[in-house]
Structure 1
Amino acid sequence: MLLHDALIVDGSGAPAWRGDVLLDGGRIAALGAALPVAADVPRRDCAGLALAPGFIDAHSHDDAALIATPAMHPKLSQGVTTVVTGNCGISLAPLATPDPPPPLNLLAREQFRHASFAAWRDAVDAARPAVNAVGLVGHTALRLRCMADPGRPATAAEREAMAALLDEAMRDGAAGLSSGTFYAPAAAADGAELLALARVAARHGGVYAVHLRDEMAGVLDAIQEAADCAHAAGLPLVISHHKCAGRAQWGRSLQTLALIERLAERQALGLDVYPYLAGSTVLREDLADGLTPIRLTWSEAHPELAGRWLADIARDWGCREPEAVVRLQPGGACYFQMCEADVDRILTHPLAMIGSDGLPHDRFPHPRLWGAFPRVWAHYGRERGLLTLEQAVHKMTGLTAQRFGLRDRGLLRAGAAADLVLFDPARLADRSDYGDPCVPADGLAAVWVNGALALDGRTPQARAGRVLARTTPAAG
């Protein structure tokens, strides 16, 4: 297939140029101006459109969605061709349980049946998903597998058991370790426990992705804790969905980014961010502070209330918001915790790549599930001028591939895997919002995954994704 006369945005951040790209055998065979090809080679006219590497979602919770809904329409429809799973300490493997506690219940409960990373990998590949996957192993999943009581630090024997499972997963293709000490099942973990596991991932050239212990008042100490662990273990750190959460923290990105820059001088470090002012996670009483607007995304006790504001529910019930949270459990919500200046500052930082943090199993999800990647260019680039097209694409492709050691993804170059997205830079835009969150993006012309046409306009085509192993050690 010859993609002819496209604006080529190669993912490196270099200036775009107009030319042709030849695909052959699942890879990019050649790039150039007016490439000579045989007359029988199929040709697609790309005049007026931009051609970029397929977007890489640095932070997803698609572990179960890849198996249960392998068409992966929320991601494919916005140009995503690879998702990084297992974030925030939450991974399906290696854990088999019928009743996963929060926050593991953000994933599909019935999918917790994979006792090894290899079993999860094989289940994903058997489902033939429309996009590729990169798998992290969640520290919380390891704790629940190896500890009867997660409310304390692990013993030496429990650390060894977790390390053995992680070592097996890394040998079977996992990309690294993730942790989420913000959440109760992992909050009691001490530095010795996290360091022991980080060292295992480091031996295999992996990465350590961290949902910080505190994104509010203690955010600076939490960044330092994560960085010290990664530095001592000798592996790259990714700070997940970096934010300054809560009104009392607004403006503190000036401090957090300054600290991150200092730390990046001594160690390999990056961060991911989603382009919205609200986050989304499980329902927590401590976050219902009466100051933060909270919108319910799901509730097992009251599924009919998904999409409503917590304040309105509490008013209807004649109770305070924390009491309403208890009555709605288990459930999830969007928390409008961030300010625009902080999100602008973090998202445009050179170390920041893009992750949706979308939750595909929510009844009424955060709009980032369907719209995060088009929004980066449409809102922060084209509308507000905070990013060039080349910068926006780099944050969604080349930078992420480098961080996760995906040597043959994220760049348009000869020999690279043919994951591509073709779009109209004047029209690409997210259409999902908090009131109507499951709307596909506009402006996408086509998506290829491993050389196969996966989406043509809004019409799904071949499903050619698979679980990817690292091709190089994760980079800084």
Structure 2
Amino acid sequence: MAGLERCDLKLSGGEVIDGTGAARMRADVAIVDDRIAAIGDLSSVRAGREIDVTGRIVAPGFVDVHTHDDRALLSKPTMDMKVSQGVTSVVVGNCGISLAPLVMDRRPPPPLDLLGTEEWWKYGTFDAFLTAIDEAPASVNAAFLVGHSTLRVGAMDDVYRAARSDEIKTMRGRLEESLDAGASGLSTGLFYAPSEQAPTEEVIEIARALKTHGGRYVTHMRNEGADVVKSLEETFLIGREAGVPVIVSHHKVHGKDNFGRSKETLALFDRYRKSQKIGLDVYPYHASSTVLKADSIAFSNRVMVTWSVPHPEHKGRDLKDVAEEWGVDVYAAAERLQPAGAIYFSMDEDDVQRILSYPQAMFGSDGLPHDEFPHPRLWGTFPRILGHYSRDLGLFPLEEAVRRMTSLSAEEFGLKDRGEVAEGKFADLCVFDARDIIDSATFEDPMTPAAGIDTVIVNGRIVWAEGRCTGERSGRALRQGRA
């Protein structure tokens, strides 16, 4: 901003990584209200508050494109697990599970119960949910997907079958209403029981509503193991038939028999990306986490219990140890623990690194904020990428790592004026020490804040400083097509 004389907040002496992939540069950053007002030598600009960030990186705030934070925005509004790792925006409603539009008077079926029991399912319209977010803002911004499983539970008397034409019409109508309210797309969890009986044609017919709203189709595919290629083909077909962009969630190949197949799947991405818009996200761990399921146990080398309603005392324990203690096999133990969640060690590190290195792969935590003993990705994803994979292993330069957790993500999800350090953009910023940044959360101690994150700013307000939340709740509901 030419001729700027005064700003509200100035970050002085840092190195700016702007999020585009460009080389870092020494520059000050001035903020006025909720926007970046100037970048450069701003020594003559007076500031209401000035922070010396010499020796630090000033980057766009990170965008966590794959979360299950729908309820956390309301129940944990300081969002410690996100701002502590530099995240300033989240995308919620993934894997076919969104908190709206659905009202429940009983515990929802798995995996919807990952978001909470029936008292949280009280938003009959998406507009009502977004209004609740507006009225009680969190410390991070949020963009919203509509869950296919949520739509099915709300429209069908039995979700364990294909939907009838009238039910598809109802689901599509509710999706359209949600998109009108500001939702940015449709997510599916075809891997899960409430949606696994949905034929491809059902998903296509519902997804057709996305095109006129500029929405995207985001999916936890039917299969990430032996049939991973078949599932990718189905995903790309849905995008083509609906005429919309596709994003493959937490791309992986799991099960020992499939180790190394990321070479095959990434080649398929390259092939189809020539003719349609396709994206993907990935988390930096060789273990996954979701509800406790027999088919997931079958292909895992190790299973850890993250929560159990009837047996909460077993959270954090290996399922094998619980089964031995009870004198039963792991499947019987899993049945006795239900409803429950788990961590599954079922991936090969070489595949994880190959997918992380793919230039179009965004980053998402897939963290489960309501698990009693969560996967460490909830607290550690972004510092792990920047510290372990970028700095220590050298998989990609720091500038590239930042690009794929900021501007690429903002572009793919239509987050207007976010994801870059540039004049006129929203002041969502993360200040970190490139030498020290690293994840601290482990599978044994999963809720430890990361090291190396100095200051996190959301819409011009400081939400994290000196190792703690400030109490500022300056996040916003990011409605599709609106700033």
1:113 positional shift: 0.9
Aligned to 1:78: 85
In 2, the alpha carbon distance for the partners of 1:114 and 1:356 equals: 25
1:385 positional shift: 0.6
Q: Does 1:180 align with 2:182?
A: no
Aligned to 2:459: 450
* Counterpart secondary structure, 2:130: helix
Residue identity opposite 1:71 in structure 2: T
Judged with a 3 Å threshold, the aligned counterparts in structure 2 of structure 1 residues 17 and 194 are, in CA distance, closer, same or farther, namely same
Q: What does 1:224-373 align with in structure 2 at a 5 Å threshold?
A: 224-289=233-298, 292-373=301-382
Aligned to 1:2: 10
1:289 positional shift: 2.3
Task: Indicate if the aligned counterparts of 2:250 and 2:283 stay in contact, CA closer than 8 A.
Answer: yes
Aligned to 2:71: 64
1:153 positional shift: 1.2
Aligned to 1:23: 31
The match for 2:22 among 9, 14, 29 is 14
In 1, the alpha carbon distance for the partners of 2:406 and 2:211 equals: 23
Unaligned 5+ runs, structure 1: none
Task: Indicate if the aligned counterparts of 1:419 and 1:449 stay in contact, CA closer than 8 A.
Answer: yes
1:192 positional shift: 1.8
Residues 97-145 of structure 1 deviation map (CA, whole Å, 9 limit, x = unaligned): 1311001011122311111111111112222201111000000000010
In 2, the alpha carbon distance for the partners of 1:418 and 1:114 equals: 31
In 1, the alpha carbon distance for the partners of 2:482 and 2:125 equals: 23
Residue identity opposite 1:157 in structure 2: D
TM-score (ref. length: structure 1): 0.97
Deviates more, 1:434-443 or 1:184-193: 184-193
Task: Indicate if the aligned counterparts of 1:377 and 1:387 stay in contact, CA closer than 8 A.
Answer: no
The match for 2:474 among 464, 469, 473 is 464
Judged with a 3 Å threshold, the aligned counterparts in structure 2 of structure 1 residues 53 and 317 are, in CA distance, closer, same or farther, namely same
Task: Indicate if the aligned counterparts of 1:286 and 1:322 stay in contact, CA closer than 8 A.
Answer: no
Task: Indicate if the aligned counterparts of 2:255 and 2:299 stay in contact, CA closer than 8 A.
Answer: no
Deviates more, 1:118-127 or 1:424-433: 118-127
* Counterpart secondary structure, 1:316: helix
Q: What does 1:132-171 align with in structure 2 at a 5 Å threshold?
A: 132-171=141-180
Task: Indicate if the aligned counterparts of 2:455 and 2:464 stay in contact, CA closer than 8 A.
Answer: yes
Aligned to 2:103: 96
* Counterpart secondary structure, 2:298: coil
In 2, the alpha carbon distance for the partners of 1:135 and 1:223 equals: 23
1:213 positional shift: 0.4
Task: Indicate if the aligned counterparts of 1:430 and 1:442 stay in contact, CA closer than 8 A.
Answer: yes
In 1, the alpha carbon distance for the partners of 2:370 and 2:454 equals: 27
Task: Indicate if the aligned counterparts of 2:84 and 2:468 stay in contact, CA closer than 8 A.
Answer: no
1:235 positional shift: 1.0
In 1, the alpha carbon distance for the partners of 2:401 and 2:47 equals: 35
Task: Indicate if the aligned counterparts of 2:300 and 2:345 stay in contact, CA closer than 8 A.
Answer: no
Residues 68-92 of structure 1 deviation map (CA, whole Å, 9 limit, x = unaligned): 1111100111110111000000000
In 1, the alpha carbon distance for the partners of 2:321 and 2:81 equals: 29
In 2, the alpha carbon distance for the partners of 1:221 and 1:65 equals: 34
Judged with a 3 Å threshold, the aligned counterparts in structure 2 of structure 1 residues 417 and 166 are, in CA distance, closer, same or farther, namely same
Report the count of equivalent residues: 472
Aligned to 2:214: 205
Residue identity opposite 1:192 in structure 2: E
Residues 207-262 of structure 1 deviation map (CA, whole Å, 9 limit, x = unaligned): 11000100010000000101110111111110000000111111000100001111
In 2, the alpha carbon distance for the partners of 1:287 and 1:69 equals: 29
* Counterpart secondary structure, 2:37: strand
Judged with a 3 Å threshold, the aligned counterparts in structure 2 of structure 1 residues 40 and 238 are, in CA distance, closer, same or farther, namely closer
Percentage of pairs with the same residue: 47
In 1, the alpha carbon distance for the partners of 2:45 and 2:112 equals: 53
Aligned to 2:3: none
1:290 positional shift: 7.3
Deviates more, 1:1-10 or 1:204-213: 1-10
1:471 positional shift: 3.3
* Counterpart secondary structure, 1:231: helix
* Counterpart secondary structure, 1:376: helix
1:278 positional shift: 0.3
Unaligned 5+ runs, structure 2: 1-8
In 1, the alpha carbon distance for the partners of 2:120 and 2:47 equals: 46
Aligned to 1:441: 450
Residue identity opposite 2:165 in structure 1: A
Task: Indicate if the aligned counterparts of 1:405 and 1:472 stay in contact, CA closer than 8 A.
Answer: no
In 2, the alpha carbon distance for the partners of 1:151 and 1:40 equals: 60
TM-score (ref. length: structure 2): 0.96
Residues 349-374 of structure 1 deviation map (CA, whole Å, 9 limit, x = unaligned): 01100000000000100000000010
Residue identity opposite 1:13 in structure 2: G
Residue identity opposite 1:193 in structure 2: E
* Counterpart secondary structure, 1:358: coil
Judged with a 3 Å threshold, the aligned counterparts in structure 2 of structure 1 residues 420 and 155 are, in CA distance, closer, same or farther, namely same
1:380 positional shift: 0.4
The match for 2:394 among 363, 367, 385 is 385
In 2, the alpha carbon distance for the partners of 1:261 and 1:217 equals: 20
